[in-house]
Amino acid sequence: MSIFDKCFAYKRVEEAQARGIYPYFTPVEEVYGNKVKVDGKEMIMVGSNNYLGLLDHPKVMEAAHKAIDQYGVATCGSRFLNGTLDIHVELEEKLAAFMNKEAALTMSTGFQTNQGVISSLITENDVVIKDRMDHASIIDACRLSKGKGVWFKHNDVGHLEQVLSDLDPEVGKLVIVDGVFSMEGDLADLPGIVELKKKYGFQLLVDDAHGIGVMGDNGRGTAEHFGLEDDVDLIVGTFSKSFASLGGFVVGDPKVISYIKHHARALIFSASITPASVATVLATVEIMEQEPERRHRLWDITRRMKSGFEAMGYDTGPTQTPIIPVMIGDDMKTFMLWRALRDAGIFTNPVIYPAVPHGETLIRTSYSASHTEEELNTVLQSFEECGKKLGII
């Protein structure tokens, strides 16, 4: 028996490649605006999380270049030792102010941020309670923690209360939800959860990777959208969406942030965010504050595309955000539609189990404030032609 037996027996990738329906790890050769080049062919990108269209903003690119000139391309060390630059500290101060919280801490990826925060805070005597559809980074972080992990049905506040009522009231409890759920685009029921927080006295962490920059009057995310910023104890964000960079952060009470800073293994034992990535985020925060019209444009596009898909007969699920899923429900039909769209020059993301439950497969589309009217018209036209050709609509 070899640990590699499972590897040699795994045939799904080869089978999908042979049929021309393998959609993952696609090499992108060039990026220009909302267009990408794949296998020498130009495609319209509606599979990116570049919500505010800042990926190639001149100010952002200039900031990244200047940071490389000043600091080089890497820190070659962890924040704990030699890897803290003055711009790391500047960014944390700016993020805390932007998010309307007292303190912030950055980490090298969004995935690591959840790992570091959750595994450091949850100890043997604590309970962590998560939504069944929370992001994989949250699920893995809960496994790493030493506390007891339980879950509640997706966005089911009634089931969450049942879970809470069965727990020892003296036990430390952390409830974790995505602010915006990344596949279907629906929002956490924060008002309902906050009501339970007042009753049961738990702490609340919102992973708002897809909400920050998009939701709320100032782009501070789902908590601002609902007017509940003071009721959310910790907010986790990522730089790989609206901030057009790489890394993650958490904001909250200064004492809590300091504790995480000195106990999170994902921070202490990882190299810090590169200078160019930090400078990029500093520039994008400034643009978010100075150009709210980007967010307004994004929401105009969101409403247009959602109504366009629904008018064709597509089911867009429970989305309330610029993440617009096209619900298919069958693996093979999902891959066939993805392939037809790719041939038509549209880059989308097919999503199957385990990213979504069995029988709930979908084509995930997401939009940018910089998408043009011509690009949007082409996307809708292609979805209509491909969907009719395959008998999906």
pLDDT in tens, 203-240: 999 999 999 999 999 999 999 999 999 999 999 999 99
Q: What is the fold, at CATH topology level, of the domain defined by 58-290?
A: Aspartate Aminotransferase; domain 2 (3.40.640)
Query: How high is the pLDDT of residue 354?
Result: 86
CB 289: neighbour CB atoms within 10 A? Answer: 13
Q: Is 277 a catalytic residue?
A: no
CA atoms within 13 A on the CB side of 109: 7
**Band (105; pLDDT cuts 50, 70, 90):** very high
**Cα separation of 226 and 204, whole Å?**
15
pLDDT digits (tens, 9 = 90+) for 1-16: 999 999 999 999 999 8
What are 130-179's pLDDT values in tens digits?
999 999 999 999 999 999 999 999 999 999 999 999 999 999 999 999 99
> Is residue 255 annotated as part of the catalytic site, yes or no?
no
**CATH 3.40.640.10: which residues of the chain?**
58-290
Give the pLDDT confidence of 79-99 residue by residue, as tens digits. 999 999 999 999 999 999 999
Question: What's the whole-number mean pLDDT along residues 49-64?
Answer: 97
pLDDT at 162: 98
Q: Per-residue pLDDT averaged across 236-249, rounded? A: 98
pLDDT at 168: 94
One-letter identity of residue 66? K
Distance separating alpha carbons of residues 47 and 354, to the nearest angstrom:
19
Instruction: Given the residues 88, 154, 241, 261, select the one marked as catalytic.
Output: 241
346: closest CA among 370, 379, 390, 372? 379
The CATH homologous superfamily to which domain 13-45+292-389 belongs is Aspartate Aminotransferase, domain 1 (3.90.1150.10)
- Between β-strands 362-366 and 323-327, what pairing exists: parallel, antiparallel or unpaired? antiparallel
Whole-structure pTM value: 0.96
Instruction: Compute the average pLDDT of residues 380-388.
Output: 98
- Please check the confidence at residue 370 and state whether its pLDDT lies above 90: yes
Which of 182, 270, 366, 368 is the catalytic position? 182
Residue 362's pLDDT is: 96
Structure confidence by residue, pLDDT tens digits, 65-76: 999 999 999 999
Q: Which position among 210, 225, 261, 371 bears the catalytic label?
A: 210
Mean pLDDT of 256-282: 97
Confidence of residue 355 (pLDDT cuts 50, 70, 90): confident
- The segment(s) of the chain belonging to CATH 3.90.1150.10 are 13-45+292-389
66 included as an active-site residue: no
Q: Residue 356 and residue 327: Cα distance in Å, rounded?
A: 11
Secondary structure of 258-307 as H, E, C letters: HHHHHHCHHHHCCECCCHHHHHHHHHHHHHHHHCCHHHHHHHHHHHHHHH
